[in-house]
Structures are given as structure tokens and as C-alpha cells.
Amino acid sequence: MPDGGTKFRWAFSYPSSKHGGSSGRCSSGGRGRCWCSCRCGPPGGSSSSRRRLLCPRVLGRSDPRIAAGVVVGASAVGLALALSRFYRDNRDDADDAIRDVIERRRRRRRRPRRDGEELQPDPEVVAIVEGSLYVHVGFRTEDGYEFFSALYAQEYIQTRLKEEFKTLGFQGEIRVSLERSQVPGRQEEEEERAGRVDPGVAEMFRRMRIQDVPYRDSPTAERLIQACRTMERGAEMLTSSGYSDAAGLTLLAEGIIMWEVIDPEDCKLFLYDPDCLHLDKKRLDHLTSTQLKHNPADSSCLFLQGALLPWGDNRVDRLRQTMNTILQNGEKDPLHPYLHHISCMLALSLRAAADQPALALAAFATALMYKSDHPPTLFWTAECSMKVSKSDAIQQFHQYLRAAPPCDPNVPIAHYNLTVLYGEQQPVDREKVETHYRRGQEAEKNKLPVFRVQESLKDEAKEAYNRATGNM
């Protein structure tokens, strides 16, 4: 295939650059909270994927042990069913691995009791349900329950399961999540979040999950897959035509917009990196320039040129020209449905070109006129407002969270920012700080593997949380 092929090596592999993480250059140099679209700062969020809720088998009332359920999950696209197949093909070894981790045992190292009785593990794996991979765990004492909870909190169980399953040949990412408990005196929060506890369980109950995470079912995953397919179709049209079919340029532009790529370095990596489309830059530039000579109103060519320009006045001018051209062409323009995103890119480019938050906020307001519930625009409006009015930023982050799906990559970042903002208020609202810090952690834990949260922001949120809760 020409130019090394047009398929992405990984469907969800967000380009990783030289400049820290998965980001391009930005004016902040990767320091502190970044306001541009690069991934060196909060823009690189995470998402939580939609999950099938599978009811666990309920233990009988006569069982004296505390019951819990654990389910195993793969964190990469295409692995959603791979874990179930892996477990079915390696059930005995997988069962032993799960028991080793949960019961903290090594089969070859277990010593018999001196009194001759069988050593009773606490916690103990009671049952493993194939398909859902629920693991029902019994606790003989409350100490066993406490120890199990501590292992989960320290991510020991997740780390060990990863190691054990990898040894057996499973290369996917294992995710462990705690669901709910029914323990006298400590059940309020988890039971309230999970709803009623299933009837028929023992008096004290905890459920944990290690499950297949169907990332393909989440809105964000579907959007990213569609974006990749659109870009791949465009690249295929270009390479198969010898870089003469301009329709491929429109598909490239649409795919970049669908992915919500904003940073110029990320755009370059998508188009030219060997692990992505691996297009010929010179031939692509030549086609774009030639097409504009024949048709100066080709918005796709204008957009691609603007998206690839570095942050600065030239980028602002070309994106503004793109906007004006689309508006002049009207609804017949193929990029007309994406005015909201291009306008958001223009606002961020204005913010990068001149340190004038008020000017950028006016541009964001214009972008919201095209689509009032566009999550990226709402998020960046809130980020920009943090330098102008913290109370406005709080309100706008909440507006973003109401509009964005739970799997949106910026959800954990919004919660961490709210943790910091509420922690700076006087008096500090401890409940709000705790709530958003916990929600940020949960959203980050359930994220799609392509996105990540900047460590400095997490540190800042943790400091705010510790101050509010007196853990300094």
C-alpha cells in the first residue's frame, strides 16, 4: 500500500509527542494548568465507558460468611470479549490465579496447620461465575473484610491480577472496581449509590467487579472509532488516487474534527506518523495548495492548513478565514455541521496568540451560539474563566458536566478543577471538595486508555482535598 498504509496501528492510540505525554508544544511549556488544547495539561482527560450490569449469583442465607463479588475487565478496544474467551480457554489456571490473589496464597507454599485441620482462608473465594467473571468472596471475620478492603484501596488486587493473567497469556488491561457493601454502621454511602442490596446475601456483604469493559459501547469510543474510520477512508482515497482526489481532504478534515483534535502537533501526528496514517506531507501540501488555487472557497483545504499551523496569529487568521468561507458557502459546505468545533478551535487559538482571556471568552460565547451543549467548548470556557472569575468557572464546569457524557475525556479534569476551586473558597465547603475529588478519581479510573490526566493537576487536587479534610 502506498506511503506505508493508511490504517491506524491502534484504533485508540492517541498520538504521543516528544513534548511530554501525548501533547504538542504549548505556551505553558507543560507547566501548571495548560489552557490550550495540548495534552500536557488538563485537556487530556479520561473517560468512563458504559458497562453491562450483570447480576451476580446470590449466596444462600445460611452461608455464615460475608459475601462479595469480583469481576475482571479488559481496557482496550477489541478486548471486550477477549477476556471471556481467555477465561473460557484457561479456566482452571485463571481460577487458581484469582484464588491466589484474593486469598493471598501460593499453591506450592501453603503449610498445613499443626492441629491437622485445613487452613481456612479469610477472605475466601466462594464461586467464580463464567461469562460475567463475578468472583464471590466470603469473609469469616470483619478483620478479613477490612484487610480485603485495604488491598483494594492500595490497588494490590488489580496489580496482582494483571501480573497473574499476563503470565497466563492475557495481554489486556485488567480493571477492578468496588461496587457496594452492606456492613453494619458503614453501608450508607455505597448502598445509597448502588441501590438496594440483593436479597438472600449474608448479613455483611461487599461486591467488587473485575469485568469486561465494553469500550465500544461508550459514546466517546464510538465517536473515536468513527473518526478513525473517516480519516482512514480519506487517506485511502488520497493514496489510491496518487494524491489527486480532493474528496479525501474533506474526509481527513471531518475525521480530525470528529476526534476533537485541536493541537497542531497532534494533527501532524495523525496525518504523518508511521503508526497513524503515514501520509506523504509534501504531496498532501501540494494537493491542498493546488486545490485552493482552483477553488479558494474550499473550506476543507483551509481548515487543514489552519489546523496544522502552529499556535499564533497565522493560525488565528486561517481559522477565521475558514469560518467566514463556511458561512459564505452556507449549508451546502461539507464542514457547515462542524462550525461549533472550528469556532472553538478559533477561540483557543486566540487565547494562545494573545494572553487576553476576555477576548477568548467572547470567542467561546460565539462558538456556543452554534451548539450550546458542545462539551469541549463548555469545558474550555470554564478553563479560561478560571483566570477571570472563579465563581463563573465553577458554574461553567457544572454546566459542562451536565452536558458531557460520563465517558467524555475531560470529566475527571473538570472534577479535579472543581476540587481545587472549592478548596480555595472561604469558608471551604468540605463536602463539595470531597465529592468532586472522589468523582474525579472514579472517572479517571474508568477512563478510556487513550486519555490521561496531568499529574500536576491531580497533585493540586489532592492538596486541596487534604487541606479540606485535615490530612495535611
- Report domain extents, the chain: 2-46+219-469, 66-213
pLDDT at 363: 93
Cβ 385 vs Cβ 393: under 8 Å: yes
Rounded distance between C-alpha atoms, residue 117 and residue 236, angstroms: 68
For the record, the C-alpha cell of 76 comes out as: 482496550
User: 66-213 domain in CATH 1.20.120?
Assistant: no
Residue type, 386: M
Residue type, 165: F
Top CATH class of 2-46+219-469 equals mainly alpha
Same fold, 2-46+219-469 and 66-213: no
pLDDT at 148: 78
3-state class of 197 per DSSP? coil
Task: Tell me the CA distances in angstroms from 388 to 35, 292, 368, one per residue in order.
Answer: 13, 40, 19
pLDDT at 154: 66
For the record, the C-alpha cell of 339 comes out as: 462550525
Its pTM stands at 0.60
Residues of the chain with pLDDT under 50: 1-69, 71, 73-81, 107-110, 113, 180, 182-184, 186-215
pLDDT at 376: 96
pLDDT at 190: 41
- Nearest one of 221, 182, 224, 233 to 69, comparing CA atoms: 182
Cβ 326 vs Cβ 336: under 8 Å: yes
